[in-house]
Amino acid sequence: MMADFNDTFADYFPLHDIAVRGRYEKGFQHLLGDGSWAGINSLEVIPKIMDYHSKNYEFALWWNVARNGYDEKNIKIVR
């Protein structure tokens, strides 16, 4: 699913180091338990990803959005 999202929504996933400063990644690259994250360059992609998931996969996900990569309160969901 991560590879599918990365291919389908590649234009929205910029290179970033929000998870670990100095470790650059693009799209969904890592799992932490049953969570993952991606940096995005436009809020408009969030409902697109959620809609794509609901139409192409038969299991539920819990989504959360952090204001930025260092928004500790909201990024805790992955940790």
Give the predicted TM-score (pTM) of the model.
0.81
Cβ atoms of 17 and 23 within 8 Å: the answer is: yes
* CB 62 within 8 Å of CB 77: yes
Tally of domains within the chain: 1
Other CB atoms within 10 Å distance of the CB of residue 79: 8
Strands (E), the chain: none
Domain around 8: 2-75
Q: How far is Cα 79 from Cα 20, in angstroms, rounded to an integer?
A: 13
pLDDT for 9-60, tens place per residue?
Answer: 999 999 988 777 899 999 999 888 888 888 899 999 999 999 999 999 999 9
